[in-house]
Amino acid sequence: MYSVRVKDQRMHFSASHFLKSEGEIENLHGHNYELKVKIYGPLNEDGMVYDFRKAKAKAIKICEMLDHKVLLPAESKTIKMTKSEGFLEVRVGDKRYVFPEEDCVIIPKQATTAELLAQHIHEHLDFPEDFKVKVCVSENAGSTGCYKS
């Protein structure tokens, strides 16, 4: 099986989030996330798995949607959100945040970990079903989470 890997300086986004894990609630903080995508599949009639430009364009579009946003998990059992008059009120433990709704992206996952962000992005890349796709999201050079179909 053949593969292509795409990485581009435009395949990044800056966003903030917080996690609740092992009983601890992180402070709201941000990362300069980097995205890498690897596509596995057969060669087409032009001798390529997938056009690099098209793959990058898909990834860049998703990065642009996440850039400069607060990432919030829709399916968390401990982070509660309510919408009112264009704002999101977020409660976790003793903390309460209020964000303009337009500044947030609600991720349909239980947390906004790098692994689950990779899965979320994977679900929105829309490659042909007969391809295997691996998406990796790095919070920094030493912390990367991946999801592969």
Average pLDDT score over residue span 11-15: 98
Does 122 have pLDDT greater than 80?
yes
For the chain, the average pLDDT equals 95
On whether the CB atoms of residues 90 and 72 are closer than 8 A, the answer is yes
- Percent of the chain whose predicted confidence (pLDDT) is above 70: 100
Sign of CA dihedral 106, 110, 111, 114: negative
- Half-sphere CA count of 14, side-chain side, radius 13 A: 1
Instruction: Using alpha carbons, select from 97, 120, 118, 100 the residue that is nearest to residue 109.
Output: 120
Cα–Cα separations (whole angstroms), residue 44 to 7, 69, 70, 142? 21, 37, 39, 35
Question: What CATH architecture is 2-148?
Answer: 2-Layer Sandwich (3.30)
Does 22 have pLDDT greater than 90?
no
Average pLDDT score over residue span 85-111: 96
Question: Do strands 95-100 and 24-25 pair parallel, antiparallel, or not at all (unpaired)?
Answer: unpaired
For residue 76, what pLDDT band results from cuts at 50, 70 and 90? Answer: very high
Does 17 have pLDDT greater than 90?
yes
Average pLDDT score over residue span 94-112: 97
Residue 141 phi, psi dihedral angles, 5° rounding: -60, -25
Average pLDDT score over residue span 128-132: 88
Q: What is the DSSP letter of 58?
A: H
Instruction: Using alpha carbons, select from 118, 149, 140, 128 the residue that is nearest to residue 36.
Output: 118
pTM of whole model > 0.85? Answer: yes
Chain mean position to CA 41: 23
Cα–Cα separations (whole angstroms), residue 51 to 3, 21, 47, 99, 131? 11, 40, 10, 39, 13
